Chain A
Amino acid sequence: MSYQGWIIVIGILAAMSCALLGNFLVLRRMSLLGDAITHAVLPGIATAFILSQSRSSVFMFLGAVVVGVLTAFFTEWLRGVGNVDEGASMGVVFTTLFALGLVMLVQGAGKVDLDPKCVLYGAIELTPLDKVSVGSLRIPRAALILAGVLVVNSVFVFTFFKELCLTSFDPALANTMGFRAARMHYVFMVLVSVTAVACFESVGSILVVAMLIVPAATAYLLTDRLGWMLVLSMAIGAASAALGFESAKRVPAWFGLSSTTTAGMIAVMAGVFFAGAAMFAPRHGFVIKWLRRQALSLQILSDDVVAYLFRREEMQQPSVDAKTLSTDLLAGSLAFPLATWLLRRGGDLEGTHEFRLTKAGRERGKRLVRSHRLWEQYLVDQAGVGTDRIHGSAEQFEHFTDRDMREQLARQTDAPDRDPHGKPIPKEHE
Chain B
Amino acid sequence: MILNGASTVRAWRLAGWILFGGVLATLGGCAGEPSDTTDSWGRVLLMRDYNTRVVVLGVAMLGGAAGLVGSFMLLRKRALLGDALAHASLPGIAIAFLVAVAAGLDEKSITVLSIGATLSGLAGVALILFIRSQTRIKEDAAMGIVLSVFFGAGVALLGIIQKMDKGHAAGLEEFIYGKTASMVADDARGIAYVSLLALIVCVLLYKELKLLCFDEGFASSRGYPTMGLDIVLMSMVVLVTIVGLQAVGIILMIALLVIPAAASRFWTDSMSPMALVAAGLGALGSAIGGLVSALAPGLPSGAMIVLACAGFFFISLFFGTRRGIIVRWIRRVQLARRIDRQHLLRAMLECIEQTTPSSSDRAEHHALDLSPLRKTPISIEQLLAMRSWSEKRLRLTIDRAVDHDLVRAKESQCTLTQAGFYEAARLTRQHRLWEMYLITHAEIATSNVDRDADAIEHVLQPEIVDQLEELLDSNGMTIVVPPCPHESSPGSQHVSAAGGTA
A residues with a Cβ closer than 8 A to B are 26, 29-32, 34-35, 39, 78, 81-85, 87-92, 95-96, 98-100, 102-103, 106-107, 117, 121, 206-207, 209-210, 212-214, 216-217, 220-221, 248, 252, 257-261, 263-268, 270-271, 274, 278, 284, 286
Contacts and interface: CB of A to CB of B under 8 A. Distances in A.
B79 A95 contact: no
B351 interface: no
Contacts of A103: 299-300, 303-304, 307
A96 to B, nearest CB: 4
The 9 nearest A-B residue pairs measured at CB? A267-B152, A271-B149, A264-B156, A91-B258, A264-B155, A99-B306, A260-B159, A210-B148, A261-B159
A30 B305 CA distance: 27
Contacts of B266: 82
Contacts of B137: 217, 220-221, 278
A81 B144 contact: no
B144 A88 contact: no
Contacts of B261: 88
A26 B151 CA distance: 19
A213 B145 contact: yes
Contact of A84 (B173, B262, B307): B262
Interface string B154-168: 111111100110000
A98 B300 CA distance: 12
Interface of B is mostly: helix
A106 B79 contact: no
Interface string B290-325: 000000001110111111001001000100000101
Nearest to B82: A91
Contacts of B306: 95-96, 98-99
A266 B152 contact: yes
A270 B144 CA distance: 12
Nearest to B262: A88
B251 interface: yes
Contacts of B149: 210, 214, 267-268, 270-271, 274
A210 B261 CA distance: 28
A284 B173 CA distance: 38
12 contacts: A30-B140, A31-B144, A35-B83, A87-B80, A91-B80, A91-B83, A92-B259, A214-B148, A257-B164, A264-B156, A264-B157, A267-B149
A93 to B, nearest CB: 9
A91 B78 CA distance: 11
A210 B266 CA distance: 34
Nearest to B266: A82
B262 A26 contact: no
A278 B79 contact: no
Contacts of B299: 103, 106-107
Contacts of A39: 251
A178 B125 CA distance: 41
B135 A284 contact: yes
A257 B101 CA distance: 15
Contacts of B257: 91
Contacts, number: 206
A29 B144 CA distance: 11
B203 interface: no
Contacts of B140: 29-32, 87
Nearest to A102: B303
Interface string B397-434: 00000000000000000000000000000000000000
A403 to B, nearest CB: 36
Contacts of B131: 278
A209 B300 contact: no
B265 interface: yes
A75 B159 CA distance: 34
Interface of A is mostly: helix
A35 B74 CA distance: 19
B275 interface: no
Given A264-B156, A267-B148, 6 more contacts: A91-B255, A117-B177, A213-B145, A214-B148, A217-B137, A217-B145
A261 B164 CA distance: 14
A315 B317 CA distance: 80
A258 B160 contact: yes
Interface residues of B, number: 59
B153 interface: yes
B143 interface: yes
A287 B150 CA distance: 22
B134 interface: yes
Interface in B90-108: none
Contact of B155 (A206, A257, A259): A206
A422 to B, nearest CB: 43
Contacts of A257: 160, 163-164
B147 interface: yes
A98 B177 contact: no
B141 interface: yes
Contacts of A81: 325
B363 to A, nearest CB: 40
A84 B78 CA distance: 13
Interface centre among B138, B258, B265 (most CB of A within 10 A): B258
A194 to B, nearest CB: 19
A91 B263 CA distance: 12
Nearest to A110: B298
Contacts of A95: 251-252, 254-255, 258-259, 306, 310
Nearest to B74: A88
Contact of B317 (A82, A99, A207, A267): A82
A220 B304 contact: no
Given A85-B74, A103-B303, A107-B298, A263 B152 contact: yes
Given A221-B135, A257-B160, A264 B152 contact: yes
Nearest to B299: A103
A120 B160 CA distance: 18
A261 B400 CA distance: 71
A268 B80 contact: no
B222 interface: no
Contacts of B177: 117
A89 B262 contact: yes
A26 B325 CA distance: 31
Contacts of A29: 138, 140-141
Nearest to A284: B136
A386 B197 CA distance: 59
Interface in B107-143: 131, 134-138, 140-141, 143
Contacts of B303: 98-100, 102-103, 106
Contact of A286 (B134, B148, B157, B265): B134
Given A35-B144, A214-B148, A248-B156, A106 B298 contact: yes
Given A96-B310, A268-B153, A88 B79 contact: yes
Interface centre among B149, B153, B298 (most CB of A within 10 A): B149
Contacts of B83: 32, 35, 91
A290 B265 CA distance: 42
B77 interface: yes
A265 B304 CA distance: 34
Contacts of A98: 251, 303, 306
A87 B77 contact: yes
A31 B141 contact: yes
A42 B182 CA distance: 24
B144 A213 contact: yes
B128 to A, nearest CB: 12
A19 B259 CA distance: 30
A223 to B, nearest CB: 11
